[in-house]
Amino acid sequence: MNPVLPSLLVTASVLFGSAVSAATLTAEFVDGQGKPLTDAVLTLQGPSPRAEPAFRADMDQRDQRFAPHVLAVRTGTQIKFPNSDNIRHQVYSFSTPKRFELRLYGGTPSDPVLFDKPGVVVLGCNIHDWMLGYVYVTDDPWFGVSDDKGTLTLDQLPAGHYSATLWHPLAPDMQPVSGGEFDIPASGLRQRFSVAVQPKGDDMPAAPPSSAFGDAFHKAAHE
């Protein structure tokens, strides 16, 4: 008998078993009034995941807003900050997990920024004070952000027992909270999560009215 054959059979069996046990979690997020909640972060701890390669992500700037408003990444991710506006921005963060500054620029800086510590990183623009963005950096192997309908789908999850963590930029004190524990069967699971949040206006202030001071900064952004 070919000595290689048994090992091939074992490998095929393992791969087949993994495919059969892969499950899908459909998460629905609502606020305290039961309305769909966008930009909610869900992270999961559960069965040991397979090793993943190095991560990269983009945090764009469009229409004088960070896009996406909330970005969730794994610890060790390198993030680029392209500027798709026709004016220049100056991106910075004073947050403990990652302090950095990208001087006034247009286009895409050549070097990405390494986010090597877990935590919440609040982004701002020195030119446009109303611009706020968030990077949620996590050590958890599975994570995502809810869409404009308040939903998030995580595929290819091993069936098993999980514990969830929830976060939202409008949560009290901006602290993550427990999302409870649950089992995800091989057939998948639909789960609803409720997150207490503050009024949305506190998070995304509107652009200020025109002024001589504001116009000076606006001119600097275009030069």
Domain locations in the chain as residue ranges: 22-222
CATH class given for the domain over 22-222: mainly beta
Q: Record the tokens describing residue 200, joined without a space.
A: 């949305």
Q: In what order do the strands lie in the sheet with 70-74?
A: 70-74, 132-138, 119-125, 89-93, 100-105
CB 193 within 8 A of CB 60: no
The answer, yes or no, to whether residue 70 has pLDDT greater than 90, is yes
pLDDT tens by residue, 133-169: 999 999 999 999 999 999 999 999 999 999 999 999 9
pLDDT grade, residue 199 (50/70/90)?
A: confident
User: Residue 94 and residue 117: Cα distance in Å, rounded?
Assistant: 14
How many H-runs (helices) and E-runs (strands) does the chain carry?
2, 17
CB 157 within 8 A of CB 136: no
